Amino acid sequence: MSRLRHLITNELDIHFMKSEVDELFNSYNLTDSYRMKVNTVLSELAYNQLKYAKKGSIETSFFKQASQLGIKIKAADKGPGIPDIDLALRDNYSTSGTLGLGLPGVKRLVDEFVIKSVVNQGTTLEVIIWIK
């Protein structure tokens, strides 16, 4: 249906991405709760890319499966990778001195969550939020 792809290299890219996704939201007449959920997920994934990989890409797409609308977000980078995904998904675990709530929080906000990471090669994360 609709797809946006953004290269994330700095904070301005994140704001631009969120603004474009917000415009797309307007065309689908979705509630503010979905808008906040998607913006939170986009922010967390993009800031992680800047913090750990220095850059990455995020693709946001709206699609229909049967009669249900979904929002798919795919974040990919060629950063250092995540050595222990299970550990990274635990609340309060952080390698950078933050609260360690980012990835676990994203996982709680979405309906489907898949993360693949190879040390020294990068990380790809795909999530889906179904509109109910």
Closest CA to 42 of 102, 114, 85: 102
Domain holding 70, by residue range, is 2-130
CATH number for the domain harbouring residue 55 = 3.30.565.10
Q: Which helix (H) or strand (E) holds 125?
A: strand 122-130
Report the predicted TM-score, pTM, of the whole model to 2 decimal places: 0.91
Q: Is 14 exposed, middle or buried (0-12, 13-18, 19+ CB in 10 A)?
A: buried
The domain total for the chain is: 1
Measured CA to CA, the distance from residue 45 to residue 75 in angstroms comes to 7
Task: Tell me the three state secondary structure of residue 54.
Answer: coil
Instruction: Give 63's strand partners.
Output: 70
Give residue-wise pLDDT tens across range 32-90.
Answer: 999 999 999 999 999 999 999 999 999 999 999 999 999 999 999 999 999 999 988 88
Q: Which amino acid is at 129?
A: I
